[in-house]
Amino acid sequence: MRQEWFDTARFGMFVHFGVYSIAARHEWVQSYERLSDDEYRQYFDHFEPDRFDARALARRAKETGMSYVVLTAKHHDGFCLFDSALTEFTAQHACGRDLVREYVDALRAEGLRVGLYYSLIDWHHPDFTVDWNHPRRDDAHAPALNQDREMARYREYLHRQVRELLTGYGAIDYLFFDFTYPEHREGWAGKGPEDWDAAALLRLCRQLQPDMLVNDRLGIPADLVTPEQYQPTSPLVVDGVPQVWEACQTLNGSWGYHRDNTDQKSPTLLVQMLADSVSMDGNMLLNVGPDGRGALAPRDVRTLDEIGEWMLLHRDAIVGAGHTDFTPPREGVYTRRGNRLYLHLFTWPLGFVHLPALAGRVAFARLLNDGSWLRTSVTDPGQQASHMTPAGEADGTLTVHLPVRRPDVLMPVIELTLN
């Protein structure tokens, strides 16, 4: 199956980079601030990514424990990191570099899967009609702007650019389209699958790259679903069919570089989110937004370093792992890989952790960070509590004995070898 590698990978890096990185105030800055093409042009004219090092970025992803990367080949502003023959609004024209070429070569050298993000939206294209996301929506005569715009011409451009991406860079493992929004708002129509001719676009993807994964944001079913900026609370199922899914998450709430956004998630929270996703048979795609020169911010590097240290010791509990029907204790979540059950402890209990329905099912228990053995026991359910003795646990409960001092890792993991 085309998603077999994806189901095993579990952890990927999202990279949002473009001329908006120079603006340094969110990748939607053109829309949020209603910037005209002339006002936005300064960022294109000064796009000089001298510190964008695709090889270093690929190594960073691998060292963080990630198995694939997704790069924004084109975002909503229409700026392309690849050398498109269909527009001059590209990195090739701005700085003389095809950054997608550098990126795919670097990922392949590190043995990582290659993903590309491509926006269906294009605020730069003269035929892309004004809607409720468009930067020109509040112009004095905004509705009149659509009189000479023709979505059919834009749709042809869209399909031709996707063809460029899927024929010019070798095998692509994952194409992340973004996004469909058919709702009407503020007197404007949105855009749905018919605006992209989504069915034909998906057929084109299947024809050119039959082994490539495609996400759900064309507005029609494809290979996986992509919840963004929230964590599901159970495995995703539609009409009884389990869904392949990936939680897309940011480090600080912004995808593109946002210099003044310091609402940074802690490394501990991020590894908990990662384990939570895997426990429900999902992946996590964690975003970084390089700065205007193409480098990762020091605060992001520190976070990735800490996650990488944790993944080095706990990789087996994430990569190749997935959901189990065993009910975890209140302190954390389970992931499972073969006959190994992994308890990710979000909180560290005093002395013991009690595991329902695992009595007689576990041959060996250890802390994963250092491989140290943990004693297990089963108590009589009828044991009466006293001032020094706890009450017995429910029938079938396995008790794991813990050291008082929590291991010095972002999140402790207990590995249980099942009989």
pLDDT tens digits, one per residue of 8-55:
999 999 999 999 999 999 999 999 999 999 999 999 999 999 999 999
Q: Is the predicted pLDDT of residue 1 greater than 80, yes or no?
A: no
CA atoms within 13 A on the CB side of 320: 8
Three-state DSSP class for 364?
strand
Q: How many whole angstroms from its chain centre is CA 125?
A: 28
- Write out the two tokens for 49: 């990514």
Q: 171: left (phi > 0), else alpha (psi -120 to 50), else beta? A: beta
Residue among 251, 205, 241, 243 nearest 227 (CA): 243
For a pLDDT cut of 90, what percent of the chain falls above it?
99
Sorting pLDDT into bands at 50, 70 and 90, what band is 2?
A: confident
Residue with tokens 């087996």: 316
Neighbours of 376 (CB within 10 A): 18
- Write out the two tokens for 270: 């991020």
pLDDT tens per residue, range 354-377: 999 999 999 999 999 999 999 999
The pLDDT, as a whole number, for residue 40 is: 98
pLDDT tens per residue, range 60-85: 999 999 999 999 999 999 999 999 99
Angstrom distance (rounded) from CA 335 to CA 165:
36
Q: Exposed e or buried b for every residue in 67-81, given b needs 16+ CB within 10 A?
A: bbbbbbbbbbbbbbb
Sorting pLDDT into bands at 50, 70 and 90, what band is 216?
A: very high
Q: Are strands 362-367 and 376-377 parallel, antiparallel or unpaired?
A: unpaired
Residue among 9, 17, 213 nearest 103 (CA): 17
Neighbours of 203 (CB within 10 A): 11
Does pTM top 0.85 for this prediction?
A: yes
pLDDT tens per residue, range 302-316: 999 999 999 999 999
Q: How many whole angstroms from its chain centre is CA 223?
A: 15
Who contacts 204 (Cβ-Cβ below 8 Å, separation ≥6)? 159, 162, 163, 166
Pair 379, 399: CB distance under 8 Å: yes
pLDDT tens per residue, range 188-200: 999 999 999 999 9
Angstrom distance (rounded) from CA 277 to CA 334:
10
Q: Exposed e or buried b for every residue in 84-102, given b needs 16+ CB within 10 A?
A: beebebbbbebbebbbbbb
Sorting pLDDT into bands at 50, 70 and 90, what band is 130?
A: very high
242 phi and psi, to 5 degrees? -60, 140
Residue with tokens 């209603």: 34
Q: Is the predicted pLDDT of residue 274 greater than 90, yes or no?
A: yes
